[in-house]
Structure 1
């Protein structure tokens, strides 16, 4: 590992929260009932340590010279075969608790976007499985990914209520393998 990959002993990561939403119930769920309008989130089951076999939001290390959005889009493609443009990602937040990763301090940036129901996902790279999982019935998530997901969904609801840009609906991403 070169010095350009580290800031002291700190590594940088980027995570991508891909969501689908209820097609007709969005306004009712978010405005009247107060529930999330999102139906599914894309998760990958880790195929390598640490936490092998656990579920996580797709993501990984930022390469030297790479932006957080480019790393986020690249990791999503590598782990799930879902393609998203870095320009379509919405910033969720920075996650920097010193003990969030067991192999040393990692500072993570999280990004989100919305895709239609039925967008295919296929495991690749260091993912054993890639699956769309119901937002209201998730398995335990590794690292601090439950916190990241909760921070992504709450602000997104507020943005949708205000009609502000961000987390808008995107056409179905293409799969690199033609799935």
Structure 2
């Protein structure tokens, strides 16, 4: 059904915007005058890049990038399904649903690793809290699940060809 595909594309678009903002935003953790992301740590007006080798940040970055790739591929396939619904003998909408669920899995892995590792040091930092980039990263997860479910519904309720 076209309605399900359009709603799924809307949810997928929002999740991609949220993931991109989370990936490049440097407000994952915030305190009084400092804030940190997965690429930078800033204190006042001065920012410095993290050195590679902080493994949980590497895992977080990698899985968010994988998630963006999978979600983008799902969107391209779903958008192209309006023109031709099949890729070989497979439904493009079904592949988009699978890619949306894979993307959601990558998001939950990356966010859970970050939450678990930073949670060990967060209580030691005075007046620190999770910030908006972190929240947008977690918000992308249910949106990707919704998009995958809507793509799946579009596949199930589409007339056979």
Q: TM-score, normalised by structure 2?
A: 0.27
Structure whose CA Rg is larger = 2
Relative contact order higher in (CA < 8 Å, ≥ 6 apart): 2
Which structure is higher in strand share? 1
Which structure is higher in helix share? 2
Q: TM-score, normalised by structure 1?
A: 0.25
